[in-house]
Amino acid sequence: MRILPFDYAIRNLGRSPLRLAMSVVGSMLVVMLMIAATAFVRGMEKSLADSGSDRNVILLGAGSEESIERSEIKASVPTQAAASLRGVRSTLGQTFISSEIHMALTVGTTRDEQSKAQVVVRGVDLPAFLVHPQVRITQGRSMNPGANEIIVGKLAATRLGMDDAQLALGKTIWFDDIQWTIVGRFTAPNTVMDAEIWVPLNDLKVSAKRDTISCAVLTLDDDGEFEDVAAFVASRVDLELVAVRESEYYAKLVAFYRPVRVMIWVTVALIALGGILGGLNTMYAAFAARVREVGMLQSLGFARRAIILSFMQEAALASMAGALIAAAASLVLLDGVAIRFSMGAFGLQLDAIALAIGLLTGMTLGVIGALPPAVRCLRLPITEALKAA
Amino acid sequence: MIRPLIDLDLDVEAGAFLALMGPSGSGKTTLLNLIAGIDQPTHGTLTIDGQNIGALSRSKLAAWRSGHIGYVFQLYNLVPVLTAYENIELPLLLHKLSRKERHRRVSASLEQVGLADRHDHYPRQLSGGQEQRVAIARAIVTQPKIIVADEPTGDLDKPSALAIMQLLQALNRDMKQTLIMVTHDPKTAEFADLTLHLDKGRLAEATVLA
Amino acid sequence: MISPTYIPLILRQIVRRPARTLLTVGGIATAMFLFIAVQSMQQGVALATQQSAGDNTLVVYREDRYCPFTSKLPEHYLPRISAIAGVKSAVPIKVIVNNCRASLDVVTFRGVPSDSLGDQLSASVVVLEGSIEDWRKRSDSAILGETLAKRRGLRTGDRFDAAGVVSYVAGIVRSDQPQDQNVAYVHLDFLQQTVDRKLGIVTQFNVKVDDASQLESVAAAIDAEFRFAEQPTSTRPEKAFVAQAAADMIDLIGFAKYLGIGCLAAVLALVGNAILLSVQDRIREHAILQTLGYGGMLIGRLIVAEGLFIAFIGGAAGTFAALAVIEWGQYSFSIDGLSIPIQASASLIATGLLIATGLGIAAGLVPAWQASRRTIADCFRAV
């Protein structure tokens, strides 16, 4: 099949600068939106997925499997678990079992003035750093118990809608009617912990007036089996516990947010649909004006398929131009932007997949945009086409 | 400066059938468009039926056209998404007529051009000759004073062209409407009472049919 | 603006170019669908968080807490609250949610004393199925809000298992209060036994005041009463409480406002584009109309009217599709046990239609003006 020169498609783009501009801008907007939505969803999913490790097991209060913040277990559970369970990792005599309290609290820079957002405050002891190796202190030091000291995660400021400077080392914040001093900053990239505030466990117990903890998180060693933990939980009915793999817990959270993700995708699909319909209109008009030209090309000997291919090249060029601009703009404007969302915060994930999806969208817009109008244009017999206005 | 028409002085009697001939660029279409009120003179006066139409504003000229002129184009120029009936009805919408009255007139025009059975056909469903007949019906439906035709048979084969000219001639005779036609074909011009030859914007000669 | 005589002509132009018309109408419908959806969310936020004059409910919560799980107030606060001047009634409520985080499918239980359900539900509540009497008869029974029942496909007599609580559906109600629509009301002691394994702890107290203008003063009085107690309180008007707790979600929804504006811009662009293209395609046609005697202004008005019709049809399609989806889905956001409904009111529908039509007119103005100015000669030269 003899195909039309690629040059033909390129030159035809310049026929109507206005139409070309409309196509490029339309494609750019839709692709940018697609990239943003993908980055949002991937960021959200990743921060949840990476938060959970396969080798960690969470002991929660029975009935609270869906939400650690709701869970309450006896403070003695970690000790009892350490005594009864084999297969729990330990190093230099320190067992990898972390007692933790997770609470969503409002904090403020002064006693009276509260930020409107809540942040997850996690009461922890030293083992927490062993059980959650993703956490690294980047500035200052870890907190000392009994001194109202805290450390804050990298995205905590975003979470609270505050300036990062307000949570710098040495600054103080208030919650539970107590003033706390920031002695360290940590990062736990792509996990929910990145947006948390960590407090010594006992200090939080005192300030929150509670004698129970939320959960115990333990790390299995190479020989350890989840089933052993499950057996322990089943045998100690008095403790009213339930054991969940940390990765499963966060996977459930990802599933919990499915309606929100669905909503985002539906919105994006609708906007893309609107863009496609507008683009189709433009293409119909563009090709309808060339019916006679198409008849002439056919009379020269070019097959219908060759002409359709050329039209598609033209449309794809315009939409890919828009897509590339969108990709570049997104990289500059969107990558890493922190979003506050439902008790946490995460960064937009503008990775290869998000960009690939965006570019693929651009390509698809071009192809879909050209195909129906091109086919319609070529419907007429050659003699009719040559007579067309 | 291009002057398509120079020193043209022309009187046309009501009811006459006039043909304008001349080579390409002689100004015949320009003259036709002036008479039809779709173009305006730069110098001189253009009086039709006692009215100096050269002095009318655009909107008044449009109103004058709807009452006085029926235009037949070479390429028919029917609206593709309207049926034959609806194409013919178009000019009537500008007049304050009831739907019944419009229907009566459109049906009468369709009869006159012999297309009553194709009233619901779209232009793409009609032959060239039939399309031109619809165009003629559209031109006469408002009973205009003047029908202007720009190469009405230019796009038709011989038999169709003959039929169209016979129709136009009959209309001119029966309805006493002035008919001014531009053509480059002497055979077509023979249907007219009077043929004017234009050359480079000037009137060259006049031939009267015996 | 335009004589009815020309309406059939305009409609024919629209209907007999089905591909182009459908594309434009489809695009507008899509944009308006989104617009209505976004506005419905905004309306839901307004409904749930903005106080109206007659509001007379306060929520007494544990200070500095929002997740219902973390607010634990002693039930014995009740008589002290009831004794405060201006308090008409006070109901202790225990709130259990299956998840503290915000999403579309949170299940909220509210445990109320058996004889207080009437106080708690709004006066305009309509019982759709079952009865409150039935609820009183069983200790594990639940009265469900209409939205929750629909979302989970529950009818009277079903067992309802969520958040570690198993209850029996005794009735389904419809209320004009968004908070009631999404909640399962159970007996307070039942919930306390099931979750705490003991009595005596509640999440909050819902207080009704005698006089709506006294809301702030009564709130201050309640907080003053418990300032130095073991569990200090923070008392706010119910809607302000929702606004604070759901600030996150509200931020996100507020951001969607820009999406709504974007949708309207898209409608304008789509109609404008369609009209521009069709005017370009029909230059010759407009010349013909002019030769027939149609004036430039009339042709301009025909173009604007065409844009108006297309925009109206598309707007209506999108608006009613959105309405259907919202009604069928009964969506609402839940956060910390509070509900923000997604609702489309009649005034929103009317606004949507009006805006779409207005945009249709606006989009056609410039192409119409240009077309009206073109002389016949220019038109024929252009093709």
| Residues 73-102 in A contacting C (C-alpha not used; CB under 8 Å) | none
Contact: A104, C66; criterion CB under 8 Å: yes
Please give the CATH number for the structural domain made up of B17-208: 3.40.50.300
Contacts of B203 (CB under 8 A, 6+ apart): B8, B9, B10, B196, B197
Mean pLDDT value of segment A166-177: 90
For A102, phi then psi, to 5°, come to -115, 120
- State residue B210's pLDDT score: 46
Considering only alpha carbons, which residue of chain C is nearest residue B58?
C295
- The two tokens of residue C229 are 């107690």
CA–CA distance, A294 with A292 (Å, rounded to integer): 5
For C288-314, the pLDDT digits (tens) are 898 888 988 999 999 999 999 999 999
- Nearest chain C Cα distance for residue B165, angstroms: 22
Which of the residues C21, C23, C380 would you substitute to probe the A interface, choosing the one with the greatest number of A C-beta atoms within 10 Å? C23
**C244–A116: do the CB atoms touch at under 8 Å?**
yes
**Which chain B residues are closer than 8 Å to C295 by Cβ?**
58-59, 62-63
Against a cut of 0.80, is the pTM above it? no
| CA–CA–CA angle C138, C139, C140 (5° rounding) | 95
Predicted local confidence at residue B148, as pLDDT: 92
Chain C residues 273-312 with CB within 8 Å of chain A? 273-274, 277-278, 280-281, 284
Say yes or no for a CB contact (<8 Å) between C27 and A289: no
Distance from CA of C221 to the nearest CA of A (A): 18
User: In this predicted structure, what is the pLDDT of residue A379?
Assistant: 80
**Closest approach of chain B CAs to the CA of C245, in angstroms?**
59
Q: What is the pLDDT along chain B (210 residues), one digit of tens a residue?
A: 566 677 777 788 889 999 999 888 788 888 888 888 877 788 888 888 788 888 888 778 888 888 888 989 888 888 888 899 999 998 888 888 999 999 999 999 999 999 999 999 999 899 989 999 999 999 999 999 899 998 998 888 889 899 999 999 998 998 888 999 999 889 899 999 999 888 877 777 776 664
pLDDT of C261 over the 60 cut: yes
pLDDT of residue A114: 63
Q: Looking at the partner chain, which of C5, C288, C293 has a beta carbon nearest the beta carbon of B62?
A: C293
| Whether A288 contacts chain C with CB within 8 A | yes
Q: Which two tokens stand for residue B159?
A: 């038999």
For the stretch C274-294, pLDDT in tens is 787 888 778 888 888 988 889
Contact C164 A64 (CB under 8 A): yes
Helix C247-281 to helix C18-49 angle (10° resolution) is 160
pLDDT in tens, C9-44: 999 999 998 888 888 898 889 989 988 988 888 888
Task: Determine how many CB atoms are found less than 10 A away from the CB of residue A141.
Answer: 11
Q: What is the mean pLDDT of residues A46-53?
A: 84
The answer to whether the CB atoms of B67 and C293 lie below 8 A apart is yes
Neighbours of A263 (CB within 10 A): 16
Amino acid at A353: I
Q: What is the pLDDT, as a whole number, of residue C318?
A: 93
Task: Return the pLDDT at A299.
Answer: 73
Q: What pLDDT, on a 0 to 100 scale, did the predictor assign at position A76?
A: 92
CA C64/CA C284 separation, integer angstroms: 72
Return the higher-pLDDT residue of C200 and A336.
C200
Q: Which residues of B touch C377 (CB under 8 A)?
A: 33, 38-39
Of C66, C248, C270, the CB nearest to A342: C248
Cβ-count burial A211-233 (b if 16+ within 10 Å, e if not): eebbbbbbbbeeebebebbeebb
Contact in structure between A376 and C19 (CB atoms under 8 Å): yes
Q: Which of A74-78, A112-116, A240-244, A286-290 has the lowest mean pLDDT?
A: A112-116
Q: What is the mean pLDDT of residues A14-27?
A: 82
Measured at the alpha carbon of residue A320, what is the angle toward residues A319 and A325, in degrees to the nearest 5? 100
* pLDDT confidence of residue C334: 75
Q: With a cut of 80, say whether residue A101 has pLDDT above it.
A: yes
Q: Mean pLDDT for chain A?
A: 86
Number of Cα atoms under 13 Å in the Cβ half of residue C229: 18
Q: Which of C14, C40, C67 to mutate to test the interface with A (most CBs of A within 10 A)?
A: C67
The mean pLDDT value for A287-307 works out to 78
| pLDDT for residue A344 is more than 80 | no
* Residue B180, pLDDT score: 93
Under DSSP, is residue A346 helix (H, G, I), strand (E, B) or coil? strand
Q: How large is the ipTM?
A: 0.73
| Separation of alpha carbons C368 and C365, rounded Å | 5
- Per-residue exposure over C343-366, b if at least 16 CB sit within 10 Å of its own CB, e if not: bbeeebbeebbebbbbbbbbbbee
As given in the structure block, the two tokens for residue C17 are 């170019």
List, for residues A109-133, the tens digit of each pLDDT value. 887 766 666 789 999 999 999 999 9
Asked if the model's pLDDT at residue A148 lies above 90, the reply is yes
- Nearest CB among A259, A280, A281 relative to C104 is that of A259
pLDDT at A336: 75
pLDDT of residue C382: 57
Pairing of strands A172-175, A136-140: unpaired
Q: Which residue has the higher pLDDT, A118 or A351?
A: A351
Residues 6+ apart with CB under 8 A from C236: C58, C59, C61, C219, C244
> Is residue A389's pLDDT more than 70?
no
Per-residue DSSP letters for A41-107?
HHHHHHHHHTT--TTEEEEEETT-TT-GGG--EETTHHHHHHHH-SSB-EETTEE-EEEEEEEEEE-
Confidence check: pLDDT of C316 > 90: yes
Q: Extract the tokens encoding A204.
A: 């939080």
Predicted confidence band of residue A154 (pLDDT cuts 50, 70, 90): very high
| Least confident span in A274-283, A314-323, A334-343, C361-370 | A334-343
Q: Find the residue in A nearest to C96 (Cα).
A: A70
Average pLDDT over residues C87-112: 83
Q: Taking CB atoms and an 8 Å limit, are B66 and C294 in contact across chains?
A: yes
Which of B82, B86, B93 minimises the CB distance to C6?
A: B93
Q: Nearest residue on chain A to C37, judged by CA atoms?
A: A267
Q: How confident is the model at residue A218 (pLDDT cuts 50, 70, 90)?
A: very high
Flag whether pLDDT at C354 surpasses 70.
yes
Does C350 reach chain B within 8 Å, measured CB to CB?
A: no
Q: Which of C9, C284, C285, C292 to mutate to test the interface with B (most CBs of B within 10 A)?
A: C292
Q: Does C12 touch chain B (CB under 8 A)?
A: yes
Judged against a pLDDT cut of 90, whether residue A283 lies above it is answered with no
The closest of C88, C82, C142, C89 to C114, measured between CA atoms, is: C142
Percent with pLDDT over 90 in chain A: 35
| C103 has a chain A CB within 8 A of its CB | yes
Between C182 and A56, whose confidence is greater? A56
Q: CB-based contact (8 Å) between C224 and chain B?
A: no
- Mean pLDDT across chain C: 85
